[in-house]
Amino acid sequence: MYTYLKERQHYEDRYDDGTVTKCRSGERIVNDTFTIMEKKLPKKELTDKLPGWYLQYSLYYFWFVESPAAERAENREATIAKWTAEDEKKDERLASAHISGGTYCRACGKDMRIISKDYMSRDNRKDDDILIMFECVACNKRLALWQDGTEWEGAKRECYKCGDSNVVSKHTKEFGVITSTETCQKCGHIKTETLDFSDKGKESEPIDPYLELDRKRFVFDSDMMFKYDQN
């Protein structure tokens, strides 16, 4: 039902992409530094000192690229295990989330059933809270409550147009989008808010044509770690 916990490949790709980003940054620093230095040195001096130049470049590359890559390799399994445990805990928390006591429809008094649970930010709190959406089994009216039983703040605002507090709220959820509609009983003004938890409409990231190549260069396996340790 809940999908925070992913297949292991998801976490491996996430970690390895972070390794590539870090090593690319280090490589860029080294290359840019030596490009600037190369432009400042007379051509004859650069030719005479070429062996030392290559040695210096190798040292910088070791410090800024290879060492970070090795450190990332050493921390890979522990970090993946940590991320997996965190997402598993998120799913467990959602699965066990409930409202203490019975939840009854405010329109007809019948029982309501849970139709969704979502993590949401609340009152500028550091950690997300859980919003639970209920639906009446009899009249299909819906209600959104925080896990502590407090009604979703979106239903408590005064009328935006006239300021009257006699506002009727309705909540719906479809395709991962929660819609809150407030209708003022005094002036008839209608206000709608949406919270989109779906992936629809989100721009896909551009394809990185060199990602696989750089993973082979920067994500150290056991053989590459052995070579690194010999330095």
Closest by CA position to 168, among listed 158, 94, 212, 177: 158
Q: Is the dihedral of CA 155, 159, 163, 165 positive or negative?
A: negative
Q: Compute the average pLDDT of residues 129-149.
A: 89
Average pLDDT over residues 75-89: 97
Alpha carbon 71 to its chain's center: 24
Q: What is the pLDDT of residue 175?
A: 65
Q: Write down the pLDDT at residue 1.
A: 52
pLDDT at residue 139 tops 60: yes
Q: Is the pLDDT of residue 62 over 70?
A: yes
pLDDT of residue 163: 72
Residue with tokens 């959820």: 173
Q: Is the pLDDT of residue 155 over 70?
A: no
Give the range with max mean pLDDT: 34-38, 111-115, 168-172, 179-183.
111-115
- Given a cut of 90, is residue 75 above it in pLDDT? yes
Decide if 8 contacts 80 (C-beta within 8 A).
Answer: yes
pLDDT of residue 156 exceeding 70, the answer is no
Specify the pLDDT at position 199: 59
**pLDDT for the residue 172:** 72
Neighbours of 193 (CB within 10 A): 14
Decide if pLDDT at 186 tops 90.
no
Q: Looking at per-residue confidence, does 71 or 53 come out higher?
A: 71
**Given this model, what pLDDT does residue 154 score?**
60
Q: What is the mean pLDDT of residues 166-181?
A: 71
What's the Cα-to-Cα distance from 29 to each of 22, 24, 38, 194, rounded to whole Å? 11, 9, 14, 44
Say what the pLDDT of residue 198 is.
61
| Mean of the per-residue pLDDT values of the chain | 85
State the pLDDT at residue 23: 97
Q: Which of 106, 103, 179, 183 is nearest to 146 (CA)?
A: 103
pLDDT at 80: 98
- The three-state secondary structure class of 45 is helix
- pLDDT tens-digit series, residues 2-24: 578 999 999 999 999 999 999 99
